[in-house]
Structure 1
Amino acid sequence: MAFDLLESGEADLVAVHHGERTMSRGELRIASRRAASFLLELGVRRGETIAVWLPDGGVWLQLFFAAAQLGVLMVPVSTRFKQQEAQHVVDTAKARVLLVPRRFLDFDYAGAAREIQASSDVLQHVVEVSQFDAFEWDAYEPYSKWEGRDTDLLCTFTTSGTTGRPKLAVHTAGGIARHARNAARFNDMKVGDVVLCALPLYGVLGFVQAIAALASGGTCVLLPVFKAQAAAEAIERHRVTHFFGSDAMMDMVLNAGDSSLATWRRGAFAEYASLGQSVIAQACSAWGVRLTGLYGMSECLAMTAIGDRDGDAQQRGLPGGTPISPEISFRIVDPVTGAPLPDRQQGELQLRGYNVMAGYLNNPAATAEALTPDGWLRTGDLAYADGGGFCYSARMRDSLRLRGYLVDPVEIEDFLARHPGVAAVQVVGVHIDGEGDVAVAFVRNSSTPATEQELLVWCKQGIAGFKIPRRILAVESFPQQDGPNGVKILKSVLRDMAAQTLGVAQHSSATREVHHEAS
């Protein structure tokens, strides 16, 4: 049995801190077995599916380990979803049980769940959880039989759904357990270490860091709602050693106030807000933490690759890195022919290994499109190989074909960001019929702003003519959205803004995005 992440280690070791509550490994183990008995009483059997629309807490973890014990698939639903979005997930999963909080924030989850049930032919039970931050079902005897297998489908993660309705990437129990142990080992997590889990468990990065902490005998500090000051205080209070998240989260915590972050030892981030070099410099100078970039996604689990923390600041900030296990393979292929490409030549990143999803749940057509016949995951990401690792460049749908040249928008962004008048920059493409792609840059001004004409002259002096943006537009802020793995810049909104500025029908940019997503 590979999925014994709670069976090893001392029972009295702390597994979870949640507010004022502390839960030991032994308590979580027994609580999970009680949850298994409860699910069996509802009629749930191996191979069936439950949906969990709950905030992070003891019950979420209790149900996850109960599902592993029974050979049941658990489908987490984002607590940010409203009724229609949640219904899509529940219907796609064909869940028999939906568990919801009795109260959380200002949304009536129970009422929405009952309406979902009324329109479903499969959903049989809606279960209201009274205290999601504690354990439930104390009256049940712990179920003693282990029915789970490594090959069981255990957990799903929702894809972004930027060009269509979200899909559910499903992973096996064996793959999750192996990745948890490898992520813990790669990040030097040990018994007694403490991981700040400031990202939600329904998101793949929040999930992986929590399950890795438990696999190592460490402790999770759960924060169901992220607030920078509370996160910084939690690091000091619980003597946190590991913290992973987005660059924006790191920036907010580093600047949150007077809390000491001196126990923080290891960390890595996904860069969404162009703050990577800033947080690398600040974390190192203030607390001696050598942050790195990382790579992962719902289809291949978070922390698939992590940067070299012994490299210089520029190297550490590169997205991508070295796979955390020799059991994870990657290759870079020509996006058109599928032929493997040599080092330093940009193409599509493909991955293979235990960490790759079994498929998209109940969506064989999408699965066939995402996986090659020999088991490689088509990530849809542009990257290049560099020795034993790789560097992520951009989503293929974000790449630009400028006058026949394939250009990564980051190339233009990096150059513009060097100008003293630019605090941050994002570049998108607009497709013009008869001309092809043109680049448009959006900049947040520094304290000494530059005019559009000054920035265009700067570009003409420093980059190839075909890379020069058609327009450079100043904005107060970039459109963004909180996601399960951190704040993301909404490139699609910027494309629409760019298209409107250039007088191009907005359907042109939308059509282009769908085309690249399908590729």
Structure 2
Amino acid sequence: MPWVGDHGTVEAGRATLHRLVFERAARMGDRPAMVDGPSGRVVSYATLASRVERVAAGLSERGFGVGDVLALWAPNMMQWAGVALGAMAAGGVVTGINPAYTERELAGQLAGSGASVLATVSPLVSAALSAASATGVREVIVLGEGGGDARAEAEGSGFISIADLISGDGHTPEADVPPDATALLPYSSGTTGLPKGVMLTHSNLVSSVRQVGSGLRMTQEDTTLAVAPFFHIMGFMVSLAVPLASGTTVVTMPRFDLPQFFELIERHRVTVLAVPPPVMALLARHPLADSHDLSSLEMIVSGGAPLGAELQRAVASRFPHAAVGQAWGMTETTVGATMPDRKRGTKPGSVGRVMPGTELRVVDPDTGRDLGANERGEIWVKGPQVMKGYLNRPDATAEILDEDGWLRTGDLGHVDEDGNVFVVDRIKDLIKVSAYQVAPAELEALLAEHPRVADAAVVGLPDERHGEVPIAAVVLREAEGGATGEADAGEIMAWVAERVAPHKRIRAVRFVDEIPRTPSGKLLRRLLVEQERQAARPAPEKG
């Protein structure tokens, strides 16, 4: 039998996300909805609601309507919320784009999503206009106070400032948007392949807001710091949608800056913090944490990638006044399938318990047989937060979503006898050493415990004798005085060897400056594998 949520029940869907935020804003009035971290500027809930209405009206007047797609290519900023919710209120779909993307990558997502409007910031206007002209985007909206650069204004083609867009009275009637209409179109690789547009409906978003909210239990007394980027599902849902639907104040960070991170938590008395594992490591060990008053933190949640039990314990030890836990899900589950509890956090190493209204199975990937407690297999999920499908990719949708609504996550894990869910690794990332399975995430969590290791990633490389062997890329922690100092790869390998079975031993260590990761902290394993293969190739002979 599937495992089901024990967090109570929540109403599934039957509403739109912008209407959910409007209803909360009407009760909040002048209380702060969002704070710009760098400048300290504040936007109230009443002002946010007004701006959403004005954005919706401005877009509608310019021909944007039901089913149209608006792309947001910008860092975390207060205007993200007004534009995204305004586009949804006008009947449209929002696709967020990584502001670090190149013009080529931007054009790829614009074309794939079918975006007709692109909202961006002044430094990106030139690339935005070029990509827009190549992909059929008819208009570029420039966010921020300045309204764009001089070149863009001089060209004048398809360019409008956000101030001009919202200059009307904002009284255009709200579009009639059914809950099963697509509202958000983030991009994900799913279990395999190139990024695909994930069609998330209003019903998906609203269900997820209620599910996540039942565990985090945010209120108007809470403040959260938006570390995860809004273009990513974790940032959009956990750091924006859930807080705004709960009356919580959202403090924005346009980019991650460590001193500013600790300073903003202290200055704004942040109570709920959702961050990826690399930031958890900083919370556990960085000395700057000791030079700030972080006693306001009541809950610290890790998401985006697995977090080792020891690192979770280290964070909990440093912040004994806060519940510490993990959550797990995918873009295809509208961020979550399991979650922590506001008071209890999660069992160390566990990603929490199944969300309300959600069913979870552990399935033998070879036989399709359902497995029981403490048996390891592929995790399957079913619930109101599961995506509608991939945009224009029925083949890819059928590979991951069966006719009964079960989503094959591609994650390997198990559920213990108490209902705690543990995610071990991605099935496709498992390393086969002499027919034994080795989970890279297990070794990465172990390496994170080494006193000299700041970050690490493990991949498998071909080996004539064993088929594959695990090797590690390691970022060293700064020693006293700021230098990394000397390190011995052999010492690190021996340290790991003392703690694992022989087939799990790391066969090589390469020291690097940075581990390639997504903005949410998820390891870019394919890129790392290619880097390691190149590093392993013999240098060409000279002469």
1:185-196 matches, within 5 Å, as 185-196=214-225
1:206 aligned partner = 235
List per-residue Cα deviations over 1:476-495 (Å, max 9, x = no partner).
545233x3313x44433543
Matched, 1:475 2:491: no
- Alignment equivalent of 1:427, drawn from 442, 453, 458: 458
1:277 aligned partner = 310
- Alignment equivalent of 1:126, drawn from 132, 140, 165: 140
2:46 aligned partner = 26
The alignment yields a C-alpha RMSD, in angstroms, of 3.3
Say whether the 8 Å CA contact 1:35–1:66 is kept in structure 2: yes
Structure 1 residues 221 and 453, CA gap change in structure 2 (3 angstroms) = closer
Q: Give 2:335's aligned amino acid.
A: A
Q: Give 1:468's aligned amino acid.
A: R
1:76-225 matches, within 5 Å, as 76-101=96-121, 103-104=122-123, 109-120=124-135, 122-131=136-145, 136=163, 137-142=165-170, 143-159=172-188, 164-209=193-238, 210-225=240-255
Q: Give 1:119's aligned amino acid.
A: A
TM-score by length of 2: 0.81
Structure 1 residues 252 and 125, CA gap change in structure 2 (3 angstroms) = same
- Alignment equivalent of 1:7, drawn from 6, 19, 23: 23
Say whether the 8 Å CA contact 1:271–1:293 is kept in structure 2: no
Q: Give 1:40's aligned amino acid.
A: S
- Give the Cα–Cα distance (whole angstroms) in 2 for the partners of residues 269 and 190 of structure 1: 20
Which stretch of the first structure deviates more once superposed, 415-424 or 65-74? 415-424
Structure 1 residues 304 and 48, CA gap change in structure 2 (3 angstroms) = same
Q: Give 2:519's aligned amino acid.
A: P
Deviation at 1:56, TM superposition (A): 2.6
2:269 aligned partner = 239
| Helix, strand or coil at the partner of 2:52 | helix
Deviation at 1:42, TM superposition (A): 1.5
- Give the Cα–Cα distance (whole angstroms) in 1 for the partners of residues 173 and 326 of structure 2: 42
Deviation at 1:401, TM superposition (A): 1.9
Q: Give 1:13's aligned amino acid.
A: R
Deviation at 1:243, TM superposition (A): 0.8
- Give the Cα–Cα distance (whole angstroms) in 2 for the partners of residues 263 and 151 of structure 1: 39
Structure 1 residues 2 and 170, CA gap change in structure 2 (3 angstroms) = same
Deviation at 1:13, TM superposition (A): 2.1
1:283-362 matches, within 5 Å, as 283-286=316-319, 288-307=321-340, 316-325=347-356, 327-362=357-392
Say whether the 8 Å CA contact 2:117–2:139 is kept in structure 1: yes
| Helix, strand or coil at the partner of 1:6 | helix
Say whether the 8 Å CA contact 1:352–1:376 is kept in structure 2: yes
- Give the Cα–Cα distance (whole angstroms) in 1 for the partners of residues 499 and 342 of structure 2: 31
| Helix, strand or coil at the partner of 1:299 | helix
List per-residue Cα deviations over 1:272-322 (Å, max 9, x = no partner).
59676346424543452221122122111224322467779xx64415221
List per-residue Cα deviations over 1:78-119 (Å, max 9, x = no partner).
111111111111101111112222x24xxxx22222222322
Deviation at 1:444, TM superposition (A): 5.7
Structure 1 residues 449 and 293, CA gap change in structure 2 (3 angstroms) = farther
Structure 1 residues 74 and 132, CA gap change in structure 2 (3 angstroms) = farther
Deviation at 1:179, TM superposition (A): 1.3
Q: Give 2:422's aligned amino acid.
A: C
Structure 1 residues 360 and 256, CA gap change in structure 2 (3 angstroms) = farther
| Helix, strand or coil at the partner of 1:479 | coil
List per-residue Cα deviations over 1:488-507 (Å, max 9, x = no partner).
444335434554566699xx
- Alignment equivalent of 1:51, drawn from 61, 71, 74: 71
Say whether the 8 Å CA contact 1:295–1:319 is kept in structure 2: no
Which stretch of the first structure deviates more once superposed, 143-152 or 220-229? 143-152
Which stretch of the first structure deviates more once superposed, 156-165 or 443-452? 443-452
Structure 1 residues 404 and 311, CA gap change in structure 2 (3 angstroms) = farther
Deviation at 1:421, TM superposition (A): 7.6
Q: Give 1:151's aligned amino acid.
A: D
Structure 1 residues 78 and 412, CA gap change in structure 2 (3 angstroms) = closer
Say whether the 8 Å CA contact 2:456–2:515 is kept in structure 1: no
Structure 1 residues 225 and 160, CA gap change in structure 2 (3 angstroms) = farther
- Give the Cα–Cα distance (whole angstroms) in 2 for the partners of residues 79 and 241 of structure 1: 28
Q: Give 1:11's aligned amino acid.
A: G
Between the two proteins, the alignment pairs up a number of residues equal to 493
- Give the Cα–Cα distance (whole angstroms) in 1 for the partners of residues 253 and 389 of structure 2: 30
Say whether the 8 Å CA contact 2:448–2:455 is kept in structure 1: yes
2:525 aligned partner = 491
Taking every aligned residue pair, what percent have the same amino acid on both sides?
27
| Helix, strand or coil at the partner of 1:393 | strand
Deviation at 1:259, TM superposition (A): 2.6
Say whether the 8 Å CA contact 2:455–2:475 is kept in structure 1: yes
| Helix, strand or coil at the partner of 1:351 | strand
List per-residue Cα deviations over 1:129-152 (Å, max 9, x = no partner).
343999743421223435222111
List per-residue Cα deviations over 1:133-175 (Å, max 9, x = no partner).
9974342122343522211100122225897542221211121
1:513 aligned partner = none
- Give the Cα–Cα distance (whole angstroms) in 2 for the partners of residues 48 and 286 of structure 1: 45
Matched, 1:394 2:410: no
Structure 1 residues 178 and 322, CA gap change in structure 2 (3 angstroms) = same
Say whether the 8 Å CA contact 1:13–1:24 is kept in structure 2: yes
- Give the Cα–Cα distance (whole angstroms) in 2 for the partners of residues 233 and 288 of structure 1: 19
List per-residue Cα deviations over 1:222-241 (Å, max 9, x = no partner).
11122122222222222211
Say whether the 8 Å CA contact 2:308–2:445 is kept in structure 1: no
List per-residue Cα deviations over 1:155-207 (Å, max 9, x = no partner).
12222589754222121112112211221231121122111112211111111
Say whether the 8 Å CA contact 1:480–1:489 is kept in structure 2: yes
Deviation at 1:465, TM superposition (A): 3.4
